[in-house]
Amino acid sequence: MGYCWRAPGACAALLLITGLAVQAPAGAARAGTAATAGGAARAGTAATAGGAARAGGDGPPGFWWGTDSWPVSVPGGAPYAMPYLGGTYGGYIGMTGNWAYWLGCRGSFIAFSAADNAEAHANYVRYHRGVGSGAYWFMGGPGVDPRYAGTAAEAYAWGQRQAARALADISHGPFDFKVVWMDVELPGIAPAPDNGWNSVYTSPCSGAVRQSYVPASLDRADVNGFASYVAAHSPYKTGVYSAPAVWTSVFGTGSAASIPGTYEWTYEPETTDYSGAYPYGWCLDHGAGPCAQFFGGQASSSRYALMWQWSGGGGVTNGIGGFNADLDTIDSARLG
C-alpha cells in the first residue's frame, strides 16, 4: 500500500505503532481546513502544493480518483476535491487492521487517516459523489498463524479469525464502499518480510524462519477462510489487493491462483509522474498507456476489476507531502 518501509523514519503522518499514537506534523491537513491558493477548491480545480490547478478530473463516467492509507492533504471545504489532480475526491480506503498490530508485534502499524476518511464519506453521503470510505485488512499468511499446523483446515480457520477481527474493526466507523479488501503482498518489513505467505516463522512476531516454504494450497485456504467468513457474517463483498508478480510468487500459476469471481485492486503499473501521466480509465498517460495489470486470471475488462493504485504503491514513492501518497482509480459502476 505504499507504506514507509522503503525509507525508515521518513513518515511523519499519523502512525499507530503497537498502541502508541504519533501525531502528524503541525502542517498536516485536518478535515475541511486546508487552504487553497485562491480560496475553497471546487471539483475540477483542486489546488496543488504549488498553487496551480492540475488535471480537470477523473474519467470516463463511473471512474473516480481517490487515495488510500497514509494521510493526504485534501484542499478546501466540502464538497472535497481530489488533491493534486482536480475533480471530485472520489474515495478513501484505509487500513482497518493489520495482523501484526492485532497480535502485538513490535513496530507494527495502522495506516489510516481519520480526516481523509471523513472527507470521502462526506462527499458520498452529502453530495452523492464518489464511493465514500472503505477498508482493507493487512493480511497475514499461514506462516504467521500462531496456531500453524501445516493443514488447510487451520489455514482456513486463520483466515476466518482475521476476517472476524476486520469486521469488528470496520463496525466502529462509516463504511460506504462495501468491499472488505485483503491486502496480500510481500512488504519486506519486520516482523515477517513476506507476511507469512512463503515462509513459516517460529512465532508470529519473532522474525525467525523455521520453514522456507508454504504450499500454495494453504495460502489459498487462508484467503478462502477470510472470504467465507465475510460472506457468512456480513452483507459485504470481498476483494484482494495485490499485483501479478506478487500473486504468482504466493499462489503459483495453478488452480490456487485463480480467482475469477473475486474483486481485485492492483498496483501495477505505477508512475511517480502523478501530475503529468495521470490515468484515464485503466491506462496511464491520459489513456495512452501502459494500462492496469490485474492478476489471478483477470484483466481490466473483467467486471471484478474495481481499483488500481497507480501512484505511490509497491514502495515506489512519488514525493507527495515530502514523501509519498497513494493515488487510486476506482470503477464504481462495476460493484454489484
Low-confidence ranges of the chain (pLDDT < 50): 2-54
Q: How many DSSP H helices and E strands does the chain contain?
A: 5, 13
Hey, which bits of 113-153 come out as E strands? 133-138
Left, alpha or beta for 225 (phi > 0: left; psi -120 to 50: alpha)?
alpha
- State the DSSP code for 206: T
Q: Kindly compute the dihedral angle of the four CA atoms of residues 297, 300, 302, 305, in this order, to the nearest 10 degrees.
A: 90
Residue 48: what pLDDT?
37
Residue 16: what pLDDT?
41
> Structural domains in the chain?
15-334 (3.20.20.80)
**Interatomic CA distance for residues 168 and 182, integer angstroms:** 15
Q: Distance from CA of residue 333 to its chain's centroid?
A: 19
**Interatomic CA distance for residues 284 and 263, integer angstroms:** 21
**Interatomic CA distance for residues 169 and 272, integer angstroms:** 32
**Interatomic CA distance for residues 111 and 14, integer angstroms:** 8
Helix (H, G, I), strand (E, B) or coil at 181: strand
Residue 56: what pLDDT?
63
C-alpha cell at 266: 492492483
The answer to whether 208 touches 202, Cβ cutoff 8 Å, is yes
CB atoms within 10 A of CB 334: 14
- pTM for the complete prediction? 0.86
Q: Among 285, 335, 284, which residue's Cα sits nearest to residue 307? A: 335
